[in-house]
Amino acid sequence: MGRLFDVPAVQWLRHVHRVASPSPLQAGEASVKGLAARLGVSMSAVYYWIEHGQLAARRTAAGHLCIDNTPEVEAACRKLIVDSRHMKLASQQKNAS
């Protein structure tokens, strides 16, 4: 049809044919949402750890954050939770309800 095969064209074709986007996660990685759910914390807490250099993350070209999904990373996150005064207060308030 003489039209360019550009990003909008690919997006349209994927939409029309219901082709899912590829996962930005590589093997052994977790998303912010997935890690937050597994740890029982908010996504905001995970973003805070990343922004403050407490948790390493890789940013994809599309802007997604990908976190190594290892037992060591999970243990380090659980330590952040235990050491957090704010999270202890939130947990106590939730249990009091």
Note the CATH number of domain 28-96: 1.10.1660.10
Q: Are 73 and 55 in contact (CB under 8 A)?
A: yes
Q: Is the pTM of this model over 0.85?
A: no
Exposed e or buried b per residue across 1-39, where buried means at least 16 C-beta atoms within 10 angstroms of its C-beta: eeeeeeeeeeeeeeeeeeeeeeebbeeebbbbeebbeee
pLDDT at 55: 96
pLDDT at 97: 62
Q: Which residue has the tokens 């380090």?
A: 76
Q: Could you read off the pLDDT of 68-92 as tens digits, one per residue?
A: 999 999 999 999 999 987 776 555 5
Low-confidence ranges of the chain (pLDDT < 70): 88-97
pLDDT at 78: 94
Query: Which residues are bridge partners to 68 per DSSP?
Result: 29
